[in-house]
Amino acid sequence: MGIQITPSILNADFARLGEEVARIPSADWVHVDVMDNHFVPNLTFGPAMVEALARSTPTPLDAHLMIADVDRHAMTYAEAGCSSVTFHVEAAQAPVRLAREIRSAGARASMALRPATPVEPYEDLLPELDMLLLMTVEPGFGGQKFLDLCLPKIRRARALMAKHGVQTWLQVDGGISLETIERCAEAGADVFVAGSAVYSADDPDAMITELRESAAAAAG
């Protein structure tokens, strides 16, 4: 599939979301950060808003669910029109069942790990997943500093995917910018969430191109 850039709208202007998404036509996906004030100390969008957003753009939505009791709520986001649904393993009771449910609804199933959650215990789950998301900040807020301590885990996750012979995408999220994207691509990530880097740029769509080119060069 190659390098993909999935801008996060967390740092966009929430009063003009439709227009904000229209500013990033080169995005491969629109990353939607769903937060419930329980799993993370912040509150953002719910299913009705996500459904309206899905109707407003031809770009597929990549929902990142930072919510508790995700086994109960994840399917709502697949049904709301998200083409990819990511749940946190720390919030899931039955991640295998959940991934299968998401896939059976026709969406891509993805699992996220917080920075302190190791990847090794979940290697046997990789064939059940279309994407693995490794957080490179503690989830909850945009604009945080990239955590370099996550780089070895990106490398280990890529090696586990090779070992299992799976085509699972490897997404990184948090503090991704022109300054950090090369390190992540070099370590093996291929899907890049960028929030503040894209929306603080004078030309968000041009920033997507720059990020894509940097990552592609570093990935070789």
Residue 173 designated active-site: yes
Q: E-strand spans in the chain?
A: 4-7, 30-35, 61-66, 84-88, 108-113, 131-135, 169-173, 191-194
Neighbours of 179 (CB within 10 A): 11
Closest CA to 6 of 210, 171, 203: 171
- The amino acid at 58: P
**Residue 204 site contact among ligand DX5, Zn ion, none (CB < 5 to 8 Å, cut-off depends on kind):** none
Measured from each CB, the residue nearest to Zn ion is 64
Shortest approach of ligand DX5 to residue 7 CB, angstroms? 8
220 vs 218: CA distance, rounded Å: 5
Binding mask 25-44 for ligand DX5 (x = CB under 6 A): ------x-x-----------
* Candidate residues 64, 153, 158, 183; the one interacting with ligand DX5 per rule CB under 6 A: 64
Binding track over 87-126 against ligand DX5, x by CB under 6 A? ----------------------------------------
Q: Could you say which DSSP state residue 120 is in?
A: G
Residues 7-26 close enough to bind ligand DX5 by CB under 6 A: 8, 10-11
Residues forming the active site: 33, 173
